[in-house]
Structure formats: C-alpha cells, structure tokens
Amino acid sequence: HERKLFILHMCKRFFLNDSNQKAQKKFIYHLKLDEIDGGYDIEVCKPFFLTTLGFKKNNDSFVYNVLSKTEKNSLIPPEDRRGKNRPKTYIDRTVVKDHIESFHPTASHYRRAHAPNVRYLPSDVTIQFMYNDFKRKFSDYHFSYEFYRKALQEENIHFTKLGHELCEKCQLHDLHKNNHPEAVESCHECNEAQIHKAKYTKARALYKSHSETQFADDTICFSTDMQKVIMLPRMEEFKVALFTRRLSIYNQTFVPVGTKQKQHPYFSVLWHAALSGRDKEDVVSTFKQFFLQF
C-alpha cells in the first residue's frame, strides 16, 4: 500500500473530456531531489520514472493501475482486494443460522457447567426436513445436505430420541480422546474423565444391586432422575408446529426399585419453564413434594 501511496503522490493526474477512454486521463511524473540539490520535485519522463523505481521502461501496468483506479478526488489509492473477494460459491452462513434458529432449539435439562452451548431439537424434527425446508424457502442458495449438517454441528445442536439424551461430560471426553487416545496421568481432562467413569460405574452397579434386593416391608427404595425435557406442542402431522416456539416441560420422576417395586406407586413432579427453571433449588423442591407425599 505504501508503494501505491508514493506513486500517487509523485504523479499529477489530469482528467480530460475525450471520447477515447484512454485519452481521458493524462499523467505527469515527478521525482524528488535530494536536499543537497534543493529537495524539490522535478518533472521527468515516464521511462525515467519507471526505471528509477526499478520497473522496466515498457512495463507501466502497476503505475497505470494505481493512477487510473484511484478515484478522481481521492488522496488514497484503493485497497488491494486480492484474496479478499468472495468466491462465486460463497454462502452467507447467517441465513443458514437464522433458519436453524427458526426451529427454536433449547438447552438440555442437565446443568451447563461443562457444555453450556449444547442445545437440542425435538425428536419430531430431522435434519433432512430442515434441509428440504431451507431449499424451499431460499431457492437462490445452493449447497449440499452435508453443508447444512455441518452448520448444525457448528451450532452444537443435537438430535436425540426421548430418554436417550447424551451426557455432556462423556461427549467432551470423546472429543478429547482425539488428542489422548489413552489416558494420561498428567492430563486434567483425562483424570476428570476417569473420576466421572468411576462414579457412573458405581452408580449403575448400586442401581442394579438395589433392583435385585428384596427390601423389608417397612422399607421403600426409590431411584430418581430428571427425565429428558419434553417440548410442547408435539404435532408431527402439522408442519407449522415445527416452527412454533416450544414450551419446555420438566419431569423429575421417583421410581421404586427392588423385587417389590410393583407394590409401590411411581411419583412424578411436572412443571414448565414459564413457572420455574431447573436450577438446584427447583430440583430440591421436587424432593420436598416427594417427601410430603410419602
């Protein structure tokens, strides 16, 4: 850019009224003398100007482009756009993102401490349906199904069936395994994954043990968990419902375990996002309702 600026300031441009486009522009070239010789500008011929700057005398393309492409009253040459122009195949990802958001993805019921940006869409929505809907609404955009799928992936939006929501800690570890296929003792993420695995392995073993235990008649054992968030309304046969903002329904269920589980009722606490959220105090309040019931 400094080269262009020097050339622009060392030349005078004249714009003439002529039918010939090339004859409309006339350039006068100057070079600055040393301070010993007075330090003022002198007019020189074009070949002398070019060769002094290191160009061949018959190669004026760079100089001509600077002088001819700069606006008439501008003192700054145009920016070099090489490598900055959008390719013909450029796709505005904002349009794709806005279309994805029109389906109103929502957060999981799990705490977001480890994966705050993961969101979910209801199981009645599929990637293929979303892609076909985009093509119908934005026929001027042409890209593959794979491009749309990757856009969903970049937005951390998941599709999971009800009751099969993924664990964020396990997801993060699966991504981390690309760097450490085997656990490394000095790695904090690997150690956290080992601790997490030990906890859920112990919990599963304890649940299995309790489910096979015959408790005394005066003892009831319950297992509790917040079920996957249900987003209402669910009307798969009506396409307009797929673009409706959903109301998140939360469900903390208490299930009896043991060989006598059929003798005791289930207990579920239901509430929706308009009433309350799913923070610790909200979940604790469901335990209060459970204890009041039993």
pLDDT digits (tens, 9 = 90+) for 267-279: 999 998 888 888 8
* Cβ(100)–Cβ(157) below 8 Å: yes
Q: Per-residue pLDDT for 148 more than 90?
A: yes
Q: pTM of the prediction?
A: 0.42
| Domain shared by 143 and 178, yes or no | no
Bridge partner list, 159: 121
pLDDT digits (tens, 9 = 90+) for 177-234: 777 777 777 888 888 888 988 998 898 888 888 888 888 888 888 988 887 677 777 6
User: Quick check: is 158 in a domain?
Assistant: yes
Print burial letters for 50-77: b (CB count within 10 Å at least 16), e (below 16).
beeeeeeeeebeebeebbeebeeeeeeb
**What distance lies between CA 48 and its chain's CA centroid?**
56
Q: Domain span at residue 11?
A: 2-69
User: Quick check: is 288 in a domain?
Assistant: yes
pLDDT digits (tens, 9 = 90+) for 52-111: 888 888 888 888 878 877 777 777 777 776 666 666 777 788 899 999 988 888 765 444
What integer best gives the mean pLDDT of the chain? 79
| Domain shared by 275 and 229, yes or no | yes
* Cβ(61)–Cβ(68) below 8 Å: no
H or E element that contains 257: strand 247-257
| Domain shared by 222 and 289, yes or no | yes
Residue 89, CB half-sphere, CA atoms under 13 Å: how many? Answer: 3
Q: Quick check: helix, strand or coil at residue 204?
A: helix
Bridge partner list, 26: 14
| Domain shared by 173 and 154, yes or no | no
pLDDT digits (tens, 9 = 90+) for 248-293: 888 899 988 888 777 888 899 999 888 888 888 998 999 999 999 8
| Domain shared by 116 and 128, yes or no | yes
- pLDDT at position 141 is 86
**What distance lies between CA 19 and its chain's CA centroid?**
53
Q: How many domains does the chain have?
A: 4
* Cβ(256)–Cβ(220) below 8 Å: yes
